[in-house]
Chains A and B, each alone.
Chain A
Amino acid sequence: MIKYSLEDKIIVTGASSGIGLEIAHTLNRQGATVIAIGRNSQRLELAKINSSNKKHFYTEIKDLTENLEELPQYISHLREKYGQFKALVYSAGIVELTVTRLLDKNIIDRIFNINFSAPLLTAKGFLDKKNNIGAGSSIVFIASVAGVKPSKGQIVYSSSKAALISASKSMSQEFSNKKIRINCISPAWVKTPVLERQINYIGVKESDYPLGFGQTSDVANLASFLLSDESKWITGQNYILDGGGNF
């Protein structure tokens, strides 16, 4: 079983619900100090109440898309407060139906700002050498299987995730000589409240998945492994979690 120490300070974004919440709880249970970032103060408070080690589960209320330019400084500000970080999990984002005939620049900008620019600029802050512990640091971006195998109605969403996957691979090469690792996880449909609406939209069936729909813990277990030193030879990868589904 993977174990962290309290000195392992890990930032988790999108931590107030779904996959981000599960990752924050898992890492905390495994011994890490978690800095859980989310927009919803009530849900974040609930996340803290439900955490295994409340004393080392810190919450930060923040909309990461509010001011993209200040994201690197925001991470520096968190480092001043908590100390240098071992890891970053970027799990915030939006899912939105988009089709060619309804495309406009605002939709493209909005989705790319949230799903691509915000994670990259947050990572920029994390990767500033003052803000991480150096060798042994790690980033996991939560992308999507849509970034590799897009379906109808996902033009902008899938492109934003494909861009994120690609950027993380390039970023991993930039930082591999410093022994800092960067990977992506691309889940297919995982049962979360946020995705419930999309599942309803598109009519995804559990029978499409030989191993059933994914659970948030399936993603959290892999994220924990990829952040830990157990995966010290893995970087620049994108792991597809699709329960054996063939889409």
Chain B
Amino acid sequence: MDKSIFIEKLKDVIQTEKDINFNTELESIEEWDSIAQISLLAFLDSEFNKHLTVNDFEKIKTVNDIAKIAGL
């Protein structure tokens, strides 16, 4: 997946209109709540076939961490 498309999809998943890039810290996104987190898990599962554990998930801090899991 193209990186810019990935960013757009991710914004949709998190439901944010904030300008985000690969360095954005997830905690800085106002909409990054528990539903956004479950949505991200479902997104990584359905789009990239990546199944994360709670431990994996706790290590995710930035958009780049998500991109790495997605294999981008």
Residues in A lying within 8 Å of B, measured CB to CB: 96-99, 101-102, 107, 152-153, 197, 200-203
Contact = CB atoms under 8 A, between A and B. Distances in A.
Interface of B: 12-13, 15, 34-35, 38-39, 41-43, 45-46, 51-55
Nearest to B46: A102
B13 A102 contact: yes
Nearest to B44: A97
Contacts, number: 40
28 contacts: A96-B45, A97-B41, A97-B42, A97-B45, A98-B42, A99-B35, A99-B38, A99-B42, A101-B12, A101-B15, A101-B39, A102-B39, A102-B42, A102-B43, A152-B34, A152-B38, A153-B38, A153-B41, A153-B42, A197-B51, A200-B51, A200-B52, A200-B53, A200-B54, A201-B41, A201-B51, A201-B52, A203-B54
A14 B36 CA distance: 33
The prevalent SS among residues of B at the interface is helix
Contacts of B45: 96-97
Nearest to B39: A99
Contacts of B39: 99, 101-102
A204 B26 CA distance: 23
B24 to A, nearest CB: 19
Nearest to A152: B38
Contact of B13 (A101, A107, A197, A202): A101
